[in-house]
């Protein structure tokens, strides 16, 4: 029987250079997307998939992430005295369903190294790696979709998205064969292929369900460009040893790792949020009327 996926790893030690200057002091993972931080969406997704423990990979200047996702009894008491306890209801309900811990990454040495840092916290069991730059808007949630594939295949699974050929050179791209609807047995992966050389239009995006073997594999992966340990290199070894699948998820992915993506995501999610959608629709009508003058 396939071991249950109980733990999620959220790499959050990066410098966030694409969102400077605000990320000079504020972790990009805590930037507000409509009504809550980007990473809270990721944790809500994880909880929906049955995840019980979140392991954050952080740097020393990102300790506020751990503070945000920890109980705050003094604040709760003050809000209750002011009749405002409901302001933290959703967050506190979320925190009551998970355990959180933080692991420090001494310097940004690549996604593979960030995952390797979680080895002791995860232990000898599978985990799902969730990159909070990629927010999923899907039913069922992205993590649920991937874990279901893992339960069928018993080996690693990565999320796939079809990307226009003009843009796919910015992604890791797979070659493979479709074994079930939307489920691909991966035969190769190419990180950021030169234009015109990509093996498909299926790109790997920020969700990975990984067996425990990934840690011993990453331990022996040699640093690549910039001295970084690439998760893709570890996935290639995993594919050779145990096989690897990709799943073309259903739903929409939102990129909050760049300024244009962050703005677009905020608008799209605000249009779907019950507390903001009416005002957002009215604003769009106002802006359309101004532009049309």
Asked if 42 and 172 sit in the same domain, the reply is yes
Asked if 284 and 174 sit in the same domain, the reply is no
Position 135 scores a pLDDT of 95
Asked if 210 and 283 sit in the same domain, the reply is no
Asked if 281 and 168 sit in the same domain, the reply is no
Residue 2 lies in a domain: no
Position 225 scores a pLDDT of 67
Cis peptide bond prior to 181, omega within 30° of 0: no
- What proportion of the chain, given as a percentage, has pLDDT over 70? 99
Residue 240 lies in a domain: yes
Residue 163 lies in a domain: yes
Kindly report, residue by residue over 155-214, the tens digit of the pLDDT: 999 999 999 989 999 899 999 999 999 999 999 999 889 998 999 999 999 999 999 999
Asked if 121 and 104 sit in the same domain, the reply is yes
Contacts 24+ apart (CB under 8 A), 262-266: 262/19, 262/31, 262/33, 265/33, 265/135, 266/33, 266/34
Asked if 167 and 242 sit in the same domain, the reply is yes
Structure tokens at 76: 């709760």
Cis peptide bond prior to 21, omega within 30° of 0: yes
- If one counts the domains in the chain, the total is 2
Structure tokens at 73: 């009894």
Position 292 scores a pLDDT of 85
Domain carrying residue 281: 258-293
Mean pLDDT calculated for residue range 85-104: 95
Residue 231 lies in a domain: yes
pLDDT of 216 higher than 90: yes
Distance CA(247)–CA(82), nearest Å, equals 48
Residue 127 lies in a domain: yes
Asked if 51 and 173 sit in the same domain, the reply is yes
């Amino acid at each position: 029987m396939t071991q249950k996926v109980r733990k999620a790893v959220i790499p959050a030690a990066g410098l966030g250079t694409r969102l400077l200057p605000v990320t000079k002091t504020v972790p990009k993972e805590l930037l507000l997307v409509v009504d809550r931080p980007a990473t809270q969406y990721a944790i809500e997704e994880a909880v929906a998939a049955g995840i019980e423990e979140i392991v954050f990979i952080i740097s020393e200047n990102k300790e506020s992430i751990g503070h945000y996702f920890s109980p705050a009894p003094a604040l709760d008491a003050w809000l209750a005295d002011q009749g405002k306890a409901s302001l933290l209801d959703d967050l506190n309900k979320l925190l009551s369903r998970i355990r959180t811990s933080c692991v420090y990454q001494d310097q940004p040495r690549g996604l593979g190294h960030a995952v390797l840092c979680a080895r002791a916290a995860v232990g000898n069991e599978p985990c799902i790696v969730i990159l909070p730059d990629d927010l999923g808007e899907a039913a069922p949630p992205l993590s649920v979709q991937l874990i279901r594939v893992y339960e069928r295949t018993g080996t690693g699974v990565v999320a796939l998205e079809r990307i226009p050929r003009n843009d796919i050179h910015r992604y890791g791209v797979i070659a493979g064969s479709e074994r079930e609807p939307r489920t691909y047995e991966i035969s190769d992966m190419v990180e950021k292929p030169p234009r015109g050389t990509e093996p498909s239009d299926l790109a790997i995006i920020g969700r990975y369900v990984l067996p425990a073997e990934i840690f011993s594999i990453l331990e022996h992966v040699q640093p690549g460009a910039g001295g970084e340990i690439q998760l893709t290199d570890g996935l290639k070894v995993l594919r050779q040893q145990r096989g690897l699948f990709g799943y073309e998820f259903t739903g929409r992915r939102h990129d909050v790792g760049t300024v244009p993506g962050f703005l677009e995501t905020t608008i799209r999610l605000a249009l779907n949020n019950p507390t903001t959608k009416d005002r957002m629709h009215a604003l769009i009508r106002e802006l359309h009327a101004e532009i049309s003058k």
